[in-house]
Amino acid sequence: MPLARERLAEAQGRYKRNYDRTVRPKNDGIPKDSWVFVRKEVHAAGTNPKLDDQVEGPFQVALNDGNTLLLRVGDDIARVNSDRITPAPAPLMPANNAQSPPVDGQELPLTELAPDDEPEYVIERIVGARQLRDGSLRYKIRWFGYGKEDDTWEPEEHLPEALVRKYHRKTGLPRAI
**Which residues make Cβ contacts (< 8 Å) with residue 30, sequence separation at least 6?**
36, 61, 64, 69, 82, 85, 87
For the chain, domain boundaries: 35-105, 123-171
| 162: phi then psi, degrees, rounded to nearest 5 | -65, -35
- What does the alpha-carbon distance between residue 174 and residue 167 come to, in Å, rounded to a whole number? 10
How far apart are alpha carbons 173 and 177 in whole angstroms? Answer: 7
pLDDT attached to residue 5: 93
Tens-digit pLDDT string for the chain (177 aa): 899 999 999 999 988 888 777 665 667 778 888 888 888 776 667 777 677 677 787 888 998 887 788 898 888 888 888 878 888 876 554 544 444 444 444 454 544 545 555 666 788 889 999 888 888 889 999 888 788 888 999 998 888 888 888 888 888 887 765
Q: What pLDDT, on a 0 to 100 scale, did the predictor assign at position 105? A: 45
pLDDT of residue 121: 75
Taking the complete model, does pTM exceed 0.95, yes or no? no
Q: Give the separation between CA 120 and CA 44, rounded to whole angstroms.
A: 19
Q: Which CATH architecture has domain 123-171?
A: Beta Barrel (2.40)
The CATH number assigned to the domain with range 35-105 reads 2.30.30
pLDDT at position 116:
53
pLDDT confidence of residue 118: 62
Specify the pLDDT at position 102: 46
